[in-house]
C-alpha cells in the first residue's frame, strides 16, 4: 500500500494555486510585498503539513495492539495455523 498519485497531485495543485496565484490578487499598498510573502509561506506550510500527515499514514509508527486471543482468531479465519515456538 503506497501513496496514491491523484490526491497528491490534487492537493499540490490547490496549494500551488494559492501560493502562486494568491500573490497576484493582493491589493496595492505599502504592505503588498509582506502580504504576498505571507500568502506564499502559508501555502507552503499548509501543503507541507498536509503532505507529512498524508505520508505518515503510509508507514505508521504505531500499529494495532492485538491480544493473543485475537491473533488466534485471525489466524484461524485466514486458515493460517500459528507455529508454536
Model pLDDT for residues 68-80, shown as the tens digit of each residue: 899 888 888 998 8
Local confidence band at 64 (pLDDT 50, 70, 90 cut-offs): confident
Q: Where are the alpha helices (DSSP H) in the chain?
A: 5-16, 32-56, 68-77
pLDDT at 63 over 90: no
pLDDT at 59 over 90: no
Are 55 and 11 contacting, i.e. CB atoms less than 8 angstroms apart?
no
Amino acid at each position: 500500500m503506497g501513496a496514491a498519485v491523484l490526491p497528491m497531485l490534487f492537493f499540490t495543485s490547490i496549494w500551488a494555486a494559492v501560493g502562486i496565484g494568491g500573490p497576484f490578487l493582493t491589493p496595492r499598498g505599502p504592505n503588498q510585498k509582506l502580504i504576498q510573502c505571507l500568502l506564499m509561506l502559508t501555502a507552503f506550510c499548509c501543503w507541507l503539513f498536509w503532505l507529512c500527515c498524508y505520508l505518515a499514514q503510509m508507514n505508521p509508527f504505531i500499529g494495532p495492539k492485538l491480544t493473543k486471543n485475537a491473533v488466534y482468531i485471525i489466524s484461524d479465519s485466514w486458515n493460517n495455523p500459528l507455529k508454536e515456538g
